[in-house]
Homo-oligomer: A and B are copies of this chain.
Amino acid sequence: MSHDEEDALLAGALGKFVNVDGAMGRKIIPYAHDAFHVPESRQYDKQSAADRLKEIALSLTPNERAVLEGFVLLCSCGTLETTSFFEFLHWWALCGYTYQGCMDALISYKFKGGQSSFAIKFFKEALSTRKLSYAFNSPVQSISDEGDNVTLTTRNGQQYTGSRLVSTIPLNVLNTISFNPPLDSQRASAANIGHVNQCVKVHAEISNKDMRSWTGIAYPFNKLTYAIGDGTTRAGNTHIVCFGGFHNHLQPEEDINETKKAAQSMAPGNMDIKRLVFHNWSKDEFAKGAWFFSPPNLLSTSLDALRSRHGNVLFANSDWAVGWRSFIDGAIEEGTRAAFTVTEDLRGASTSRSRL
């Protein structure tokens, strides 16, 4: 199939998948940044992607079903059964309710210097204020709110104290930390359930220059299922990004030959691999997964709880952003919200003091 044929196939299949309201999802989620605005939208959080596929099964050709499942799993990197259909509709709304919008917002653009270059700019800007102290590689053991102050203790016994604490700890790591007073039961339960994204992202440098703009799907049998040609490396090789997920989970560092084989199976005969680069986010103790993707019944029950403050502890992570949840934009949303809250808090406090 040509690129255009593939696009049309996936666009058509996605249309059938999301069209729950005769308006391609616009009626059920009219505001992507307030996705539960229409109360009926909550019912779709009871459904998994697998449930929705069952509903529309008779209207899908086998090819449509394969590309659709591949695309949904590329978003959630869970399994079809553990992917909330609501959250997929929310992504669809964020992308302007079109396939083209999904390509534009999710896949087409990247930073010239990679995401690290972006993160480094943030960090340098913070450093330049001369108000930033930092410690890396310091797993947190406990967070204790003593009323006037919050104290954080690392596993190696280091302590930090402040009047407010902004926790950016991801959902899947939250239950490894002891809170005093304990987290409310709704948030604790959500943290125990966690999100389902166990994305495996393997970057391959290959010599074949024709693969520059290639897209491949190898689903459901291969351990990497979706691959995209992503430019030319400085060495003149082609950069291919391969994605896999929990539905057929690969631990890429455990057996390099298996990983290589999974990548090569994406395009038999065309993957002369020069180099593989990956990071196992599933095993990373600071992440325990990739970008947030919710199972059914998590967001409709727990989003408000995840966003609420816990005394002097504010929680700011893209995992519970209301708009671009799971994306860097969502992290900025949440960071802004926490910064604003802390500023208001402390200005209020200093006002009270000066009034005494």
Report the minimum CB–CB distance from A11 to chain B (whole Å).
14
Report the minimum CB–CB distance from A131 to chain B (whole Å).
11
Which residues of the partner chain B approach A128 to less than 8 Å between Cβ atoms? Answer: 344, 347
* Residue A101 is within 8 A (CB to CB) of chain B in the complex: yes
Report the minimum CB–CB distance from A99 to chain B (whole Å).
12
* Residue in B closest to A347 when the chains form the complex, CB atoms: B128
- Grouping DSSP codes into helix (H, G, I), strand (E, B) and loop, the A interface class, with mixed when no group exceeds half, is helix
* Residue in B closest to A350 when the chains form the complex, CB atoms: B130
Report the separation of the CA atoms of residues A26 and B334 in the bound assembly, to the nearest whole angstrom: 32
Interface residues of A in 277-325 (CB under 8 A from B): none
Which residues of the partner chain B approach A347 to less than 8 Å between Cβ atoms? Answer: 128-129
Report the separation of the CA atoms of residues A101 and B347 in the bound assembly, to the nearest whole angstrom: 40
Name the residue in A96, A98, A101, A344 with the highest tally of chain B Cβ atoms < 10 Å from its Cβ. Answer: A96
Report the separation of the CA atoms of residues A347 and B127 in the bound assembly, to the nearest whole angstrom: 11
Which residues of the partner chain B approach A344 to less than 8 Å between Cβ atoms? Answer: 128
Report the separation of the CA atoms of residues A12 and B128 in the bound assembly, to the nearest whole angstrom: 52
Which residues of the partner chain B approach A96 to less than 8 Å between Cβ atoms? Answer: 96, 101, 104
Which residues of the partner chain B approach A98 to less than 8 Å between Cβ atoms? Answer: 98
Report the separation of the CA atoms of residues A101 and B95 in the bound assembly, to the nearest whole angstrom: 11
Report the separation of the CA atoms of residues A347 and B344 in the bound assembly, to the nearest whole angstrom: 25
Chain A interfacial positions (CB closer than 8 Å to B): 96, 98, 101, 104, 128-129, 344, 347
Q: Which A-B residue pairs are the 7 nearest by beta carbons?
A: A128-B347, A96-B96, A96-B101, A96-B104, A98-B98, A128-B344, A129-B347
